[in-house]
Structure 1
Amino acid sequence: MTVRSRIGISILVTITLPITVLGGYRIEQIADDSLVNRDPTISAGGIVAWSSYNANEPGNPRSEIFVYVNGNRRSLTAGAMEPESMNTHPRAGAGSLVWVGTFRKIEGDLTWVMKDPRPSPEGPEELDATYLARCEHDGAGGSIGKQWFVGPGTNPAQDAVETVITNLSRPRRHPSGDTEICLWRGGEIKRLTQDMRNDIGPSAWGNLVAWQKARGWPFGWEIMVWDNGTRLQLTTNYYYDLTPRVQGRRIVWYGWDGHDYEIYLHDRDRDMTLQITSNGYDDVSPVVWGDMIAWEGYAGLDADIYLWDGSEKRRLSKNPYEDSEPSLWNGSVVWQGFDGNDFEIFMYCDGRVMQLTTNAYDDVSPKIRDGIVCWVGYYDNFDGEIFVWDQTNMVMLTDNDYEDRNVETAGGRLVWEASDGERSLIMLAIPESGQAAVRSE
């Protein structure tokens, strides 16, 4: 395979990499194949996790978080959560596993009383979290809106008074919700949130967890933090703050500033928040590693990849095509970029940009971690296959007639989801030598 490289994003260098099909890795199917399995995640410390549910259960099936550690698989949430709970979107990092759990009731002390921004005399009032809006069928082809007011304040008492709203023809958007953030570090499951607002999108690194919490209609989301028991609300505004990512003691996210989306960084050790970008276009999808942040910036009609090295910003791609989905590790950035014909994988390392793939099919969703780059390639232009580059060899890990997707890597191992149309499985690839790459946790 030919790899083209740009030094200083202008000088082309050609590198030739060998491709080994299905070589160098032992691949195992680690999930219960009678269940629907999805959202795999992996930690360099040895945690592999995913979400599963039984599609044959009547009604809304309960979903569980499964973990695979030291060759053993078990349900982490079975018997430990409410009978009707849903557990989805697990994320692993530095010995921690976080996910979104759906709870039907609130028990015990309520937490997370949100700080409110200064009221605006010109803007609308925020709908309080104490309003639970539901839309139910009236039996005659229509619907009846029901609203439960459960007391004053952001975190109310549990006594509910039902009020029927007769003119509600469709579900209302509302701030109340039952999705909460859960944390596991090898012992008991800890529920980090317990209130009337939806909490989603968690990211964790050790004892530092961040996520987004819903404000009341018509406003957006705030960034929340749990730092080894200390609760923090990083943002307090009328706008949308989204997709926090945690690495080490740093948290990044993108938020609306009243004109467009910008990139923000919070350093927990310094207890300081910085606005990394300030311009007239959208900056989104940030990732962080050490002192560096990478993201997508829409300076034109298409996205380009940007990097902040702790002191200055640089633009890694500059072309008339789309560059997106950055992944960052130890000073290196990978992303997918359109080359005029299809999507290819690009990498920034040591001051130069390399094009890792050059072919006639799409290569997408790259990840980099612990010296490994992996992605999904549509090798036969029909279904996705998993590819990996270990800085020396390009390996095609799968070659089959079903979809392989959502690949992640850490500690030299890889995990992904495989679907043959009837089953959804979780695959784990381990180097045949048994030696993982240098761990970054």
Structure 2
Amino acid sequence: MARDPGNSRQAAKQIGISNRPRTFRDRIGERDRFDVYRFSLKTRSSFKLDLKGLKTNADVLLLNNRGRVIGRSNREGRRNEAITIDLNQGTYFVQVNARGRTTTRYRLILRSNTITLPSPSPGSPVPSPSPGSPIPSPGPGGGSNSPAPLPNTAPTLLANLGVSVTRGGSGAIGGTLLQATDPEQQASQLVYTLTNLPKSGQLRLNGTPLTLNASFTQDDLNNNRVIYQQPNQLANEVSLSGTPKISGSNVVWAASDGTDTEIFFYNGTTGIVSQITSNDVDDLNPQISGFNIVWQSGIDTAAEIFFYNASTGEPTKRLSDNDNFEDTNPQISGLNVVWERKRTNDSDVRLYVVGTSTRSNSIGSLNDIATQPLISGSHVAFEQINSTGNVGGIYLYNIDTGRTPELLTRRVSDKLTAISGSIAVWERTKGSDKDIFYFKDGEDEAISDSVVLDDSSALISDSFIAFQRNHTSDNTQDGLYLFDVETKLIKQITTSASDTLSGISGSNLVWTRSDGTDTEIFFYNGATSQTIALTNNLLNDSDPLVSGSNVVWLSGTSSTANQISLNNATATSDTFGFSISDGASATTGTFNITIG
């Protein structure tokens, strides 16, 4: 059986040609996108090529021994293609390219005739053309009809079929799914550069995560070295302090760098993890709002508060202004930052507005004990009691008005749990019963005052309050619930008291649940009322937080978590953008991923 033409110069089919036309018949299209033939000339020759019998569109190229295009025919439709050129001694390649995915037969007709040059006049020099180069042919009137040097051609995208993966799974992006060709370059010389990253997963090359502007080659694709993986693993085998915090697709966390604890940031736009701090003290308790990050640092004689804008990259800014007291528990919303300052006998809540403040200000009473500040927009909620511990409650402060904080509840035993805008939420214990209260429009109200329902662990986002409920007399009403402050409607989300609520964003919830062996992560989509299992593995997955539909969580094989994962819980598809370059010209494209 005749050997099938190869699809590269290395695998090209060797043929011989002469002054008698020689015809080669084959087919291209579908999976076999191009055929390559190799021939050699022993003398300077006039070369002619015809491509006929096409059923669909196809092109033909003539390349020298270095892979550079020296002749081309690319007529539209099913028209015959032809190349006529004079060539020097050397090796050449003919490449037949399919323009569509439909298979077509073809007839490739080749011939060459030795060129006999006239004898030079006595004493005149004889030029010696280099092997493998085209030579001019005398044209009418003595002119030359040799082709002008052809411009470089951009890579052609032959296949861009996309890939399908299961949620939480992975899939190889091979050369049959994403393939480019270039007549002048080999597969290892066709470079893909990432112009947009996938949002719901991660691209990896030989196991290493790829970031924005990272690159891989067609040869990497052909050898299944590029993988799309869910979820996006931000950190692995790290010693964490606390839990990661999320805002949009940006994530911040504290982890050991081998000597002490530092702050790390994942940029959801670029896919790059960067270390924000690098010093010889422990940096702890990071919080994030957009690209704005705050944390407490163990510099000087006590903890201090620092701020960093990850989008500008400007130097970190110290917000606290003393060396004698301990500044801890920072919280941030936009450019508004609050924290707790601990003194010898009391504590107060400090406020710093980045870009406006020159130093922090106290928003609680300096003679009392103010703790647990929470912030949302321009509103700050905190707990405050007097020095004897018998007078106080929960307070709400408006940064815009700057008025004296408003007292929401006078019960010193009430525990502030959450805030959203001007709505504060707290937990009240009466005997063995727990209830959830919220403050809105000047009034406080309980979600339920039933003595047989223990409501706890309340979180709020927008006008939605999520909480855990335990029915003390039986388990008929156990589970997680969602309460709408505007409509006063309550909805049961799960039916198990062992579900542990962890995060809320709008009406979206995340929680953990034991499967009897380890813990898994679950997500509730408030828009569709659908519950999705984000993990189903042999790891202990814990501490999920949600921002929009982006969920971050910790994982580990034991009680110590050492992995950070990020996933878009509602995504059913994903994409990444790329450009393909041969070193001179580029072609752009978008690769699609189906998640199901």
> TM over 0.5: same fold?
yes
Structure 2 vs 1, CA of residues 192 and 103 (structure 1 numbering), >3 Å: closer, same or farther? same
Aligned partner of 1:75 among 229, 233, 253:
233
Residue 403 of structure 1 aligns to a residue in which SS?
A: coil
TM-score of the aligned structures, taking structure 1 as reference length: 0.60
* Matched length: 296
Aligned partner of 1:274 among 346, 349, 361:
361
| Contact in 2 for aligned 1:335/1:365 (Cα 8 Å) | no
2:324 corresponding residue in structure 1: 238
2:303 corresponding residue in structure 1: 221
Aligned partner of 2:254 among 93, 100, 106:
100
Aligned partner of 2:469 among 363, 377, 381:
377
Structure 2 vs 1, CA of residues 258 and 358 (structure 1 numbering), >3 Å: closer, same or farther? same
Deviation at 1:260, TM superposition (A): 0.6
1:90 corresponding residue in structure 2: 244
| Contact in 1 for aligned 2:285/2:296 (Cα 8 Å) | yes
2:382 corresponding residue in structure 1: 295
C-alpha distance in 2 between matches for 1:421 and 1:237: 49
1:367 corresponding residue in structure 2: 459
Structure 2 vs 1, CA of residues 363 and 84 (structure 1 numbering), >3 Å: closer, same or farther? closer
Aligned partner of 2:348 among 262, 265, 275:
262
Deviation at 1:209, TM superposition (A): 0.5
Q: Where in structure 2 are there 5+ consecutive unaligned residues?
A: 1-166, 170-198, 202-228, 531-546, 551-596
C-alpha distance in 1 between matches for 2:506 and 2:200: 11
Deviation at 1:420, TM superposition (A): 5.0
C-alpha distance in 2 between matches for 1:379 and 1:302: 32
The one-letter code matched in structure 2 to 1:282 is I
TM-score of the aligned structures, taking structure 2 as reference length: 0.46
For residues 129-159 of structure 1, give each alpha carbon's deviation from its aligned partner in whole angstroms, at most 9, with x where no partner exists. Answer: xxxxxxxxxxxxxxxxxxxxxxxxxxxxxxx
1:338 pairs with 2:429: yes
Structure 2 vs 1, CA of residues 381 and 423 (structure 1 numbering), >3 Å: closer, same or farther? farther
For residues 217-264 of structure 1, give each alpha carbon's deviation from its aligned partner in whole angstroms, at most 9, with x where no partner exists. Answer: xx4311111123231122232221111011011111110244311001
Structure 2 vs 1, CA of residues 382 and 425 (structure 1 numbering), >3 Å: closer, same or farther? farther
1:329 corresponding residue in structure 2: 420
1:141 corresponding residue in structure 2: none
| Contact in 2 for aligned 1:325/1:366 (Cα 8 Å) | no
The one-letter code matched in structure 2 to 1:325 is L
For residues 186-206 of structure 1, give each alpha carbon's deviation from its aligned partner in whole angstroms, at most 9, with x where no partner exists. Answer: 120111111111111110111
1:399 corresponding residue in structure 2: 495
Deviation at 1:296, TM superposition (A): 1.1
Deviation at 1:395, TM superposition (A): 1.5
Aligned partner of 2:444 among 353, 363, 367:
353
C-alpha distance in 1 between matches for 2:257 and 2:490: 44
The one-letter code matched in structure 2 to 1:379 is H
* RMSD value, Cα: 3.2
Structure 2 vs 1, CA of residues 84 and 312 (structure 1 numbering), >3 Å: closer, same or farther? closer
1:184 corresponding residue in structure 2: 266
Matches within 5 A, 1:113-128: none
Computing the radius of gyration from Cα coordinates, the structure with the larger value is 2
Deviation at 1:432, TM superposition (A): 5.1
Deviation at 1:179, TM superposition (A): 1.2
The one-letter code matched in structure 1 to 2:494 is T
State the 4+ residue runs in structure 1 displaced beyond 6 angstroms: 381-384
Structure 2 vs 1, CA of residues 283 and 211 (structure 1 numbering), >3 Å: closer, same or farther? same
Aligned partner of 2:482 among 363, 380, 388:
388
C-alpha distance in 1 between matches for 2:427 and 2:367: 24
The one-letter code matched in structure 1 to 2:354 is R
Deviation at 1:356, TM superposition (A): 1.0
Deviation at 1:340, TM superposition (A): 4.1
1:211 pairs with 2:306: no
C-alpha distance in 2 between matches for 1:425 and 1:302: 42
